[in-house]
Structure 1
Amino acid sequence: MWKRALVAALLSVSASASAVDADGFSQYVSQLKQEAGEKGYAPATIDAAFADIKLFKRAISADRNQPEFKKTLDTYLPQAVPQWKVDKARKLYKEHRELLEEIGKAYGVQPRFIVALWGIETNFGGYTGNYPVLSTTASLAYEGRREDFFKEQFFAAMTILDQGHISADAMRGSWAGAMGQTQFMPTSFLSYAEDYDGDGRKDIWGSLPDVFASAANYLSNVGWQYNQTWARQVKLAQPVDESLQGLKVKKTLAEWQQLGVRRFDGSDLPVRDIEASLVFPDDADGRVYLAYANYDALMRWNRSHYFAVAVGYLSDRIKFPAID
């Protein structure tokens, strides 16, 4: 029975893959173009947006075959935050300190977190992706598994083009449509991107003032707390019931202390009126963190505990050089 089910599933995937063809995509793009006209986009914007749209099967393949994560934080963090990245983060922090501190105060976000996000997302702008965003979002919408989401991203990208922030050929990003040095999806761009240098364009591709301010604006709008850090690694003096684990459960540090949560060195938790969640990014045998509001904000940026921990860890390495 299970063999027949497996064969049926494979045939279904094969049929779905074969349905992704150039002719079908061309018809789908024609429908998008008609809808763009109905939405009121300027004719010049429509012409520019649809001038060179192509079917990107590589983006569809990447979306269908995202690898399962089988690492642990202990193996992941040295790869995500190697010493050279820490050194570069500190160097760039010093190089752009004045701008970073100005933006940090304006948006209520500590500069070290802005730099850490920049480093984890795109290696400080070194790799932002080279996929044409209009083509990839159209291709992924056509594929159909998440049509509504990627169709929304496509039209958001058209709005960005319509507003004059970037040209169609320069609007490039990841296979999923994440753009620029902040790796914003087009809808996130429209919600959070900033024109901090005042040139009339929100340039998250090439303007560091815009890049830093856009990242800070995003965090500020999703609950960032300037007077808090992100999390602290802890140890358990006794098991904590599974019902109390995860980001949905918030307790004060005093309450976690009573439940047997201790600093990583085994000493008592700080005496401070602050709420936190107990999270296990791996499993019961892996690392344990008390996650504060800023951890939640990082999870809004990217819903991966590994991402949140990597950004937080790099930010700590920027702040505390002595831990090397």
Structure 2
Amino acid sequence: MSAMKSFALALLLTALVPLPLTAAPCGNTSAGFAAWKRDFAEEARRAGVGQRGLQALAQAQYATSTIAADRNQKSFRYSLEKFMQVRGADTIVAQGRKRKARHPEFYAALERIYGVPAGILIALHGMETAFGHFMGDSPVVSAITTLAFDCRRADFFTPHAIAALKLVDQGTITGATPGAKHGELGHTQFLPGNALAFGVDATGDGRVDFYDMSDALASTANFLRQKGWKPGRGYQPGEPNFEVIRQWNAASVYQQAIAIMAARIDG
């Protein structure tokens, strides 16, 4: 075969090989979100998302309020004293002690199973949603897909967006389920990927419901244990379990506040 024919054959074979699908381009405004969703639907389908999840994706709206919140997380830049004041640490501790006293067996059972003391779970519950009094008003799917589309942290949020769609498939949430501005859901504000991986059906009703306190706190305890929580060990800065609190939230001021409040609740 001549060199010219060999080259022509190589070009033909190259043309017949399907090119790999590439991720949709990110954006910094709502422009392009609809086109991104269409491309992302193919990525989601390849990741195992079913029809219900894909329908929720198609109906998702660009969440302007989520982007505004993502650009303005100033509380994490406060001093520890200011952060605890702004987030109502004294109130969380006072209410947390009462909650522990009202339901001692519930928290004791969680500690027996997962090794996580009541103070940590109660402090997280109070910090995240004021003990379930405000679990967010932003549709989870819209918020998390907006962040997956946004260029600032698309790589981080894309797996969580896929997970949110799988949660829709499972019936854990719907496309309209409300959560926090960054797509966190339930009593302790799980990101969807963590909800999918660490959710626990504590009530035994056959489904994990992060808007049920028992399921949410058992799931939180399970997350911490799976991330390396060592039963019976300390959780203050420099102690083994403080590193596990870092797995929940990356902000140093948040981690310190949780450790302080938990110790006061555990008394």
Aligned to 1:220, which of 209, 221, 225?
225
Q: How many residues align?
A: 242
TM-score for the superposition, normalised by structure 2: 0.83
Bigger share in helix: 2
What are the Cα deviations for residues 213-232 of structure 1, in whole angstroms up to 9, with x where unaligned? 1111111112212212212x
2:41 corresponds to which residue?
33
C-alpha contact (below 8 Å) 1:109/1:216 kept by paired residues:
yes
Counterpart of 2:198, as a letter, is Y
1:305 offset after TM fit, Å?
1.8
Deviation >4 Å, runs of 4+:
none
Question: 5+ residue gaps in structure 1?
Answer: 1-15, 232-289
1:69 offset after TM fit, Å?
4.7
Equivalents in 1 of 2:187, 2:68: separation in Å? Answer: 24
2:164 corresponds to which residue?
157
1:68 offset after TM fit, Å?
7.1
What are the Cα deviations for residues 179-211 of structure 1, in whole angstroms up to 9, with x where unaligned? 111211111112211111111211111x22211
C-alpha contact (below 8 Å) 1:80/1:310 kept by paired residues:
no
Aligned to 2:127, which of 120, 126, 131?
120
Matched, 1:90 2:97: yes
What are the Cα deviations for residues 237-271 of structure 1, in whole angstroms up to 9, with x where unaligned? xxxxxxxxxxxxxxxxxxxxxxxxxxxxxxxxxxx
Question: 5+ residue gaps in structure 2?
Answer: 1-25
What are the Cα deviations for residues 19-54 of structure 1, in whole angstroms up to 9, with x where unaligned? 6234x111111112233334443324422x135311
The CA RMSD measured in Å over matched residues stands at: 2.1
> Kindly tell me: are residues 74 and 63 of structure 1, through their superposed partners in 2, closer, same or farther at Cα, counting changes over 3 Å?
closer
1:301 corresponds to which residue?
248
TM-score for the superposition, normalised by structure 1: 0.69
Matched, 1:175 2:122: no
Aligned to 2:30, which of 3, 21, 37?
21
Equivalents in 1 of 2:111, 2:223: separation in Å? Answer: 12
C-alpha contact (below 8 Å) 1:114/1:212 kept by paired residues:
yes
Aligned to 2:258, which of 297, 306, 311?
311
Q: Percent identity?
A: 31
C-alpha contact (below 8 Å) 1:223/1:297 kept by paired residues:
yes
After alignment, is 73-82 or 96-105 more displaced? Answer: 73-82
> Kindly tell me: are residues 32 and 291 of structure 1, through their superposed partners in 2, closer, same or farther at Cα, counting changes over 3 Å?
same
1:154 offset after TM fit, Å?
1.0
Counterpart of 1:102, as a letter, is A
